[in-house]
Amino acid sequence: MKKTMSVAFFFVLGAMIGLSLSCGDILDEMLRELIGSVAVDAMRAAYIDSRQILDDGRIHVILAGTGSPRIDGDRSHPCTALAANGQFLIFDAGPGAVDKLFLQGFPVQDVEHFFLTHMHSDHMGGIANLINLSYNSGRRNVIHVYGPDDSRNLSHSLYPPTSKEYRAGHETTTPDGLPDTRRINELNAVDLRNGLVWDVGPDPDLVYIPGIGDMVDGINMAYSADTVIRTSNRQIPEDPDGWAHNMAVAHPHPDMPYTEQENHGWGELQEVVTFPDKGSGHGDLVVKCFLVDHYPCFPSYGYRIEYAGKVVVISGDTESLMPYEAAPGEQSYWATYAENADVFVHEALNLEITEIMLDAIMAEPDLLAIPAVVNIVAQFRGAADHHTDVLDAARAAAEANASILVLTHVPNPTPNDPIKDLFTEGMNAFYSGQIILGEDGMDIQVPF
């Protein structure tokens, strides 16, 4: 009896082990197939499907990052892309934004031209990553970087006298005792002149402002060893000069004639680069730049892209409507820069929401004892001086006769629909076109 039981036991046990082994094999095989198909699908999505937007009869305006310098889980730092005529152009690359662009399913490998609006970290902190990621993703030509010139010897006294705040007298602190960032900005300008921040040439009245030439040299140098190692280790047969192709080439914008002309260059459009028609018959794609008032960050640019009779305008960071002291009723520079834009991507904050935030924080003495909080409050206060309130963005879009206004560079948290609605409240009173509060990953399409 015992023997029979033991035989039966071992028979059942053997069957169970055999069954589990065969199930294990099946599971193992299924897992292998799953891993393989996921890998193949990911490759197709990243390097084939993503490229369909490059020439599909539409201009794609892609909001990779719609945030500001503030770290926001919902909004990456500033980055806008444009796909048309076989080109994939990127405007600004804040930290993390290009990774997000890749994860959003857009063809980072096709970026060969990058445009910087100004030398603020939230717009340039991801450029090195853009250069490396695009090469590692398949770019095989040098990447061209356009933006502010360097080696600019700018007289402090000629620093563009365009900002209301610069001309106004300032107190060092606000009535509630916090640092007044406008005053700090002015002090920074004095620091520049005294050589405390940047090198000063032989003339102590001149300041040297680094631009994309210095920046690109620095990035190329910093990553040169990494580039050589990666490209040689990979032994990419079709690109033996990969170490060179991973590099960037700077194309600084020519100086705007701000000292010679009455309007200091405001309102002037300047051609940056033309991409010839790639056979679609819709003509060349032209990128133009223009100066904006983002004092004290000078020069700061926006971009106007023209293709197939359509216009896309990217404001860059800019203060309100400042056409440098426009008389009442006079139009701002947006009437020229963004004239008849099909898509006008404009930076925006909401002053009302900002005040609510600041009032709440200011009512908490324990928070105000923390230096970081004091800094944040000061930054939000300062933002109003060189950024644009939503209502002024609406006015700008109306002046430009733009079809669609897209809001980006949003510093205020917008975690739910009621707050998003509050963010754009009142804009319709000034602008009757379509208003889109930008979200990361949005792909706004303009058929032509």
Residues of this chain that bind Zn ion (CB under 5 A) = 120, 122, 317
For residue 286, the number of C-alpha atoms closer than 13 Å in the C-beta half-sphere is: 13
CB 240 within 8 A of CB 257: no
**Toward Zn ion, which CB reaches closer, 285 or 407?**
407
CB 75, min distance to Zn ion, A: 12
- End-to-end CA distance of the chain: give it in Å, rounded: 87
Residue closer to Zn ion, measured from CB, 268 or 317: 317
Query: From the CB of 260, what's the least distance to Zn ion, in Å?
Result: 26
Least distance between Zn ion and beta carbon 409 (Å): 6
- Reading the block at residue 203, the tokens are 């003339």
Residue 287's alpha-carbon distances to 279, 341, 408, in angstroms, are: 18, 13, 20
Q: Which of 116, 118, 111, 117 is nearest to 142 (CA)?
A: 111
The single-letter code of the amino acid at 165 is E
Q: How far is the CB of 243 from Zn ion (least distance, A)?
A: 33
> Which of 277/439 has CB closer to Zn ion?
439
| Closer CB to Zn ion, 87 or 318, in the complex | 318
Cα angle 338, 340, 344; round to 5: 50
**Which residue has tokens 């700018």?**
154
Query: What whole-number distance in Å separates Cα of residue 16 and Cα of residue 10?
Result: 10
Q: How many CA atoms lie within 13 A of 424 on its CB side?
A: 21
What's the min distance (Å) between Cβ of 67 and Zn ion?
Answer: 9
Provide, rounded to whole angstroms, the least separation between the CB of residue 316 and Zn ion.
Answer: 8
Give whichever of 92 and 110 is closer to Zn ion, judged by the CB atom. 92
Tell me whether residue 120 or residue 395 sits nearer to Zn ion (CB atom): 120
List all residues 6 or more positions away from 437 whose beta carbon is below 8 Å from its beta carbon: 407, 410, 414, 420, 423, 424
